[in-house]
Amino acid sequence: MTRSTQALAYSRPSALATTPGGRLLGLETSGGVTPLGAEDRPGFFSGLLTSPRAAARGLLAVADVAGARYHRPVPGSSLDPVVTGNGDRLRFESFSGCCGVYARLDVLREGLDGADTGHGTTNVDVNNPLREALSRMTGDDPLHLRVGPDAMTVTTLEGPLVEKKVPLPDRWLRGFAEAQVISAGFDLRAELPAAEAVRFLRTLPRGSGAASRGALWVVPAGRTLRPTTRPVRGAVCLPGPERLAALQRVLRDATALRVYGPAADGVAVSSAWEVVLPGMRLTLTLSPDAARGFSGEGGVLEALATEEAARDAELVSVLLAWEPRIDPAGLAAEAGLPVERVRAALVRLGTAGRVGYDVAEAAYFHRELPYDASRAERHNPRLVAARALLDSGAVVLAGDLARVASGERHYQVRESGGALSCTCRWWADHRGARGPCKHALAVRMARRDTVLATLTGGGPR
């Protein structure tokens, strides 16, 4: 697994302090991107939180996920949460070390006392002393939140006083992209009122013992969720229920629980679990299995293999303006492209960390993750292998069938209704549930090259 080192530099540690005017939660920022370009320590917000305790607990939940490995837990460092200012809200995001859980806290305008935020994305320092201080918050006394340096910090400090260096695996970067692609296919499956939400979540296993292995299934039943042993009609998959433990942080302030996912089809699938809080939403998105991270799901491979999507993504990226809700139809009109191509471009931009997906609003949002997420594309094993097969001349097209030579073996790839199937072991094991195999991906590229060559009058490469 390819790794790099992510260096995070802060002017001072984040802290929860008592001031003459009340408490101040100062979150320090590292290098990030804003409408003005790259900044060492951008500032996004300074104002009151309307529900301080819920916000503190939600931020702790996001930090819990960043520091967790739900599959084969081992001690290790974690990447500080990412914060995005979208003009009317702040979004705090993290990803678990095992690549199987994505967490996001959306602090909406009503949670920020109606104040606007800046625009941009960066990391925020969440250190152990801050975590302990936030954990001790019990009341809802006035709390001022500052995201970014204050004026005195900017004018009196030169260079970082706090620096963190953490390993950043490509698998973790790919997981961010896959999670948003998978979430885009979710629908709202159930909504529970506060009392039932708390009751249901408190019955879930919290450890990693036998009781919580594998996926559970739940069925909406009136105002609650009923466990079931199999994926019956209307069921929602709950893969690795112990991975929802971070939601326990905010149950005291929960007003509802919403569950999102695809229609049940007999196999374990991802799902998203959203706790509604006053002026906020905390969402955990789970991979299909605790032992299976998002990075191998393959949902982005088709878009990555499309040169057309690469060109479209470059155009669409220029039109993004840190929107909290991206309107594909509006982008299509601005770019002069069909909506389908804009959606493919958004998937492509997601692989570079430039857009995320909000299941509550069924919409993409603009953000710029503060690291070189393009590595996720360059080092994707199946994509790299497919390009190698294509470049070596291993693909032979013959109508709806294609033959791919891979090592000493030959595989047949068949197209039916726009979908590809293969005779390889990967396809036999997953049947397309985890994206295309390298052979099908190479055939897709070869056919696209042939079409382009016909249109331009050139020969296939």
Give the chain's end-to-end CA distance (angstroms, integer).
31
Question: Looking at per-residue confidence, does 99 or 453 come out higher?
Answer: 99
Least confident of 145-149, 167-171, 273-277, 303-307: 303-307
Give dist(CA 312, CA 293) in Å, integer. Answer: 29
User: Given strand 401-406, what is the order of strands in its sheet?
Assistant: 395-398, 401-406, 409-416, 419-422
Residue 13: what pLDDT? Answer: 93
Give dist(CA 268, CA 396) in Å, integer. Answer: 35
b/e per residue, 193-213, with b = 16+ CB within 10 A?
eeebbbebbeebbeebeeebe
- Picking from 255, 277, 294, the residue at the C-terminal end of a domain is 294
What element of type H or E holds 240? none
Residue 76: what pLDDT? Answer: 57
Whether residue 176 is contained in a domain is answered as no
Verify that 111 and 139 share a domain, yes or no: yes
For residues 315, 353, 88 and 54, what is the CA-based torsion angle, rounded to 10 degrees? 170
Q: Following DSSP, what letter does each residue of 257-321 receive, concatenated?
A: EEEEEPPP-SS---EEEEEEETTEEEEEEE-SBTTB-GGGS-TTHHHHT-HHHHHHHHHHHHH--
Question: Looking at per-residue confidence, does 435 or 359 come out higher?
Answer: 359
Q: Does the pLDDT at position 140 exceed 90? A: no
Whether residue 461 is contained in a domain is answered as no
Whether residue 61 is contained in a domain is answered as yes
- Picking from 318, 348, 376, the residue at the C-terminal end of a domain is 376
Verify that 451 and 394 share a domain, yes or no: yes
Verify that 324 and 371 share a domain, yes or no: yes
Q: In this predicted model, what pLDDT tens digit does every residue of 33-72 receive, in sequence order?
A: 999 888 988 999 999 999 999 999 999 999 999 988 887 6
Whether residue 174 is contained in a domain is answered as no
Q: In this predicted model, what pLDDT tens digit does every residue of 109-127 receive, in sequence order?
A: 999 998 899 999 999 999 9
Contact 404, 443 (CB under 8 A): yes
Question: Looking at per-residue confidence, does 373 or 312 come out higher?
Answer: 312
Range of the domain at 145: 3-167
pLDDT category at 377 given cuts 50, 70, 90 is: low
How many domains does the chain fold into? 4
Q: Specify the residue for token string 């594309």.
A: 377
DSSP label of 124 = B
Residue 374: what pLDDT? Answer: 61
Q: Does the pLDDT at position 227 exceed 90? A: no
pLDDT category at 378 given cuts 50, 70, 90 is: low
Q: What is the mean pLDDT of residues 281-309?
A: 75
Give the percent of the chain with pLDDT over 70. Answer: 86
Verify that 186 and 116 share a domain, yes or no: no
Instruction: Tell me the CATH number at 36.
Output: 3.10.150
Verify that 30 and 159 share a domain, yes or no: yes
Q: Does the pLDDT at position 153 exceed 60? A: no
Q: Does the pLDDT at position 370 exceed 60? A: yes
Verify that 72 and 11 share a domain, yes or no: yes
Residue 108: what pLDDT? Answer: 97
Verify that 195 and 124 share a domain, yes or no: no
Q: Does the pLDDT at position 434 exceed 90? A: no
Verify that 37 and 84 share a domain, yes or no: yes
- Picking from 331, 353, 376, the residue at the C-terminal end of a domain is 376
Q: Does the pLDDT at position 210 exceed 50? A: no
Question: Looking at per-residue confidence, does 190 or 350 come out higher?
Answer: 190
Give the list of residues 6+ apart from residue 130 with CB closer than 8 angstroms, or none: 13, 14, 15, 16
Contact 48, 76 (CB under 8 A): no
Verify that 273 and 346 share a domain, yes or no: no
What element of type H or E holds 71? none
Whether residue 173 is contained in a domain is answered as no
Q: What is the mean pLDDT of residues 281-305?
A: 75
pLDDT category at 379 given cuts 50, 70, 90 is: low
Q: What pTM value is reported for the model? A: 0.83
The per-residue pLDDT of the chain, averaged, comes to: 85
Contact 32, 121 (CB under 8 A): yes
Whether residue 175 is contained in a domain is answered as no
Whether residue 80 is contained in a domain is answered as yes
Whether residue 172 is contained in a domain is answered as no
Verify that 290 and 305 share a domain, yes or no: no
Verify that 158 and 43 share a domain, yes or no: yes
Q: What is the mean pLDDT of residues 419-426?
A: 88
Q: What is the mean pLDDT of residues 432-461?
A: 71
Verify that 187 and 82 share a domain, yes or no: no
Cα 226 → chain centroid: 28
